[in-house]
């Protein structure tokens, strides 16, 4: 997956992770995007935003972080 | 557990929790907390700071158990749901300064965003002006965010860093139980004929249980009065706003039932009607909270989750309370305008300078 489809929002305060994910999802419009965040709060926020834009979202916990995969 | 998590993360989850917090706030007022102040994070932190002798305003010195119990409720929720993560390193000194000026601004208005909503739910129309300022402050922060504002990343830290604030709060809670009311207030009552705010409080154990419940539920749902406005302005996302609306509606309904709704501008409890100060006080506070990533309640709950930066913000707010009372910047105090102007210059400066 190329650089533009990966969002690294670890350690950032609200609302930056959601803004970063949202910007990428809106710019790309479709396909597959991944994001990495470090709190469940940001997982929930990103999923809510992605779903509002018509993307599906899944996540898994890995090495104290969460990897989100968005598809459309 | 997954089902529970899904409910808390849902719109109905945040609405239910907002309503529960509103009900508890109105009940705490009925049981003894000051007028339109069933809960006020800023005022309660200020009272705690006073009880510790860090400011000398004798009428607002009481070790409010709600503050430590908020943090500990969130701490328990974070442990139980495996969300406790010690972290720090995202511009702690800037967060301290933001906390300081957030408190100074809130104390000019005489309340944090939670109390602004509760004041409105109690019929204090001055809160409308304050909430307008609050929204404008968040709006300014949104502009900074769009320009690339960031305080940088936090990083995983040793567990002791994350436990420090909950441990400090446990110490305060022990003090609150062991020594619930400095005897000073008891002698103040008959002398002044008017009960000072620091002498108005719900029974200690009820306050503790109520605040533990709020801390627990707010941690689960990420209830945030600043996020409520910010997310609407930034992304038209009304999720958190639904929670805050439920908080307001529940408090309003219960206030009407309990006879705690007294509409008007003048003579409101612990309030003033100098509109410009009310407005700009909460412009300063709203901007500071939004730049720090959450309202004063949310900062307490994040501190309970192990966020060392939120903990520093809380300590900044507590220092701001001492400064505000020692320098007479509270309410319509002689230095209120100077403090608001200096605060706005500093915080706008942070907004402009801290960019990616």
CA A48 to chain centre: 10
Query: What pLDDT score was predicted for residue B2?
Result: 81
SS3 call for B324: helix
Q: Is the peptide bond before B85 cis (omega within 30 degrees of 0)?
A: no
Size of interface A-B (CB pairs under 8 A): 59
What string of pLDDT tens digits covers the 356 residues of chain B? 588 889 999 999 999 999 999 999 999 999 999 999 999 999 999 999 998 889 989 899 999 999 999 999 999 999 999 999 999 999 999 999 999 999 999 999 999 999 999 999 999 999 999 999 999 999 999 999 999 999 999 999 999 999 999 999 999 999 888 865 555 454 445 455 678 898 899 999 999 999 999 999 999 999 999 999 999 999 999 999 999 999 999 999 999 999 999 999 999 999 999 999 999 999 999 999 999 999 999 999 999 999 999 999 999 999 999 999 999 999 999 999 999 999 999 999 999 999 87
Query: What pLDDT score was predicted for residue B3?
Result: 87
Please check whether residue B134 is in contact with residue B229, taking contact to mean a CB–CB distance below 8 angstroms: yes
Write out chain B residues lying below 8 Å of A26, CB-based.
Answer: none
Write out chain B residues lying below 8 Å of A19, CB-based.
Answer: 145, 234-235
Long-range contacts of A39-43 (CB under 8 A, 24+ apart): A39/A66, A39/B83, A39/B85, A39/B305, A40/A66, A40/B81, A40/B83, A41/A14, A41/B222, A42/A9, A42/A12, A42/A14, A42/A17, A42/A18, A42/A66, A43/A68
Radius of gyration of chain B (CA): 19
The CA distance from B159 to the nearest CA of chain A, in Å, is 13
Using the Cβ of B95 and the Cβ atoms of chain A, whether some distance falls under 8 Å is answered with no
Give A12-59 pLDDT, tens digit per residue. Answer: 999 999 999 999 999 999 999 999 999 999 999 999 999 999 999 999
* Option in A11, A19, A52 nearest B87 (CB): A11
Q: Which residue has the tokens 């505000």?
A: B324
* Option in A13, A14, A40 nearest B83 (CB): A40
**What span, in angstroms and rounded, lies between the C-alpha atoms of B214 and B208?**
10
**CA distances (Å), B309 to each of B53, B164, B219, in order?**
25, 11, 16
Using the Cβ of A25 and the Cβ atoms of chain B, whether some distance falls under 8 Å is answered with no
Residue A55 belongs to a domain with what CATH number?
3.30.110.40
Using the Cβ of B220 and the Cβ atoms of chain A, whether some distance falls under 8 Å is answered with no
Write out chain A residues lying below 8 Å of B305, CB-based.
Answer: 39
CB pair distance less than 8 Å for B153 and A12: yes
Q: Which DSSP letter does residue B249 get? A: H
Q: Which residue has the tokens 């609405």?
A: B15
Using the Cβ of A24 and the Cβ atoms of chain B, whether some distance falls under 8 Å is answered with no
**What span, in angstroms and rounded, lies between the C-alpha atoms of B7 and B9?**
5
**What span, in angstroms and rounded, lies between the C-alpha atoms of B235 and B175?**
43
Query: Greater confidence, A5 or B98?
Result: B98
The CA distance from A9 to the nearest CA of chain B, in Å, is 8
Query: What pLDDT score was predicted for residue B187?
Result: 47
**How many structural domains compose chain A?**
1
The arrangement of strands across the sheet holding A65-71 comes to A6-8, A32-37, A65-71, A56-62
Residues in chain A: 72
Using the Cβ of B89 and the Cβ atoms of chain A, whether some distance falls under 8 Å is answered with yes
**What span, in angstroms and rounded, lies between the C-alpha atoms of B272 and A12?**
38
B263 Cβ contact list (under 8 Å, min separation 6): B123, B125
CB pair distance less than 8 Å for B87 and A38: yes
Best mutation target, B14, B91, B222, to test chain A (most A CBs within 10 A): B222
CB pair distance less than 8 Å for A40 and B151: no
Q: Model confidence at A64, in pLDDT bands (50, 70, 90)?
A: confident
Question: Residues 38..67 of A with a Cβ closer than 8 Å to B: which?
Answer: 38-41, 44-45, 48-49, 52, 64
Write out chain A residues lying below 8 Å of B81, CB-based.
Answer: 40
Query: What pLDDT score was predicted for residue B199?
Result: 86
pLDDT at A1 over 60: no
**What span, in angstroms and rounded, lies between the C-alpha atoms of A35 and A55?**
13
Largest CA distance in chain A: 29
Query: What pLDDT score was predicted for residue B356?
Result: 79
Query: What pLDDT score was predicted for residue B193?
Result: 63
Q: Is the pTM of this model over 0.90?
A: yes
Radius of gyration of chain A (CA): 11
Query: What pLDDT score was predicted for residue A63?
Result: 85
Task: Name the token pair of B231.
Answer: 């997310």
**What span, in angstroms and rounded, lies between the C-alpha atoms of B94 and B262?**
40
Could you list the residue range(s) of the whole structural domain that residue A28 is in? Answer: 3-71
Query: What pLDDT score was predicted for residue B186?
Result: 44
CB pair distance less than 8 Å for A38 and B237: no
* Option in A11, A15, A45 nearest B153 (CB): A11
Please check whether residue B215 is in contact with residue B73, taking contact to mean a CB–CB distance below 8 angstroms: yes
Query: What pLDDT score was predicted for residue B178?
Result: 82
Best mutation target, B154, B225, B242, B295, to test chain A (most A CBs within 10 A): B154
**What span, in angstroms and rounded, lies between the C-alpha atoms of B154 and A13?**
8
Please check whether residue B311 is in contact with residue B128, taking contact to mean a CB–CB distance below 8 angstroms: no
CB pair distance less than 8 Å for A44 and B222: yes
């Amino acid at each position: 997956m190329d650089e533009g489809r990966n969002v690294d929002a670890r350690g950032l305060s609200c609302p930056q992770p959601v803004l970063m994910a949202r910007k990428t999802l809106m710019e790309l419009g479709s396909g597959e995007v991944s994001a990495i965040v470090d709190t469940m709060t940001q997982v929930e926020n990103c999923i809510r935003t992605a779903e509002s834009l018509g993307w599906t979202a899944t996540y898994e916990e890995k090495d104290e972080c969460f990897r989100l995969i968005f598809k459309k | 557990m997954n089902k529970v998590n899904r409910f808390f993360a849902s719109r109905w989850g945040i609405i239910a929790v907002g309503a529960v917090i509103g009900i508890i706030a109105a009940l705490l007022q009925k049981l003894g907390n000051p007028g339109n102040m069933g809960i006020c994070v800023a005022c309660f932190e200020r009272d705690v700071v006073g009880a510790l002798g860090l400011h000398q305003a004798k009428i607002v010195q009481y070790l409010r158990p709600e503050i430590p119990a908020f943090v500990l409720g969130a701490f328990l929720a974070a442990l139980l749901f495996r969300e406790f993560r010690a972290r720090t390193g995202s511009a702690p000194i800037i967060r301290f300064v933001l906390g300081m000026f957030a408190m100074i601004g809130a104390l000019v208005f005489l309340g944090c965003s939670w109390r602004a909503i509760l004041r409105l739910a109690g019929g204090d129309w001055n809160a409308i002006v304050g909430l307008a300022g609050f929204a404008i402050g968040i709006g300014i922060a949104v502009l900074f965010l769009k320009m690339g504002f960031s305080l940088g990343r936090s990083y995983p830290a040793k567990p002791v860093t994350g436990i420090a604030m909950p441990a400090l709060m446990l110490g305060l809670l022990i003090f609150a139980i062991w020594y619930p009311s400095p005897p000073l207030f008891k002698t103040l009552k008959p002398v002044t004929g008017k009960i000072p705010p620091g002498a108005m409080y719900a029974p200690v154990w009820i306050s503790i249980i109520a605040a533990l419940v709020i801390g627990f539920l707010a941690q689960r749902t990420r209830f945030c009065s600043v996020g409520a406005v910010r997310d609407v302005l930034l992304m038209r996302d009304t999720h958190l706003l639904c929670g805050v609306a439920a908080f307001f509606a529940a408090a309003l309904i219960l206030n009407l039932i309990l006879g705690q709704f007294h509409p008007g501008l003048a003579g409101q409890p612990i309030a003033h009607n100098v509109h410009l100060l009310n407005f700009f006080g909460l412009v300063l506070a709203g901007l500071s909270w939004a730049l720090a990533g959450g309202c004063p309640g949310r900062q307490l709950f994040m501190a309970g989750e192990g966020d060392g930066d939120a903990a520093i913000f809380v300590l900044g707010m507590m220092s701001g309370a001492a400064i505000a009372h020692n320098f007479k910047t509270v309410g319509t105090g002689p230095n209120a305008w100077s403090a608001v102007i200096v605060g706005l210059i500093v915080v706008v400066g942070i907004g402009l300078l801290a960019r990616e």
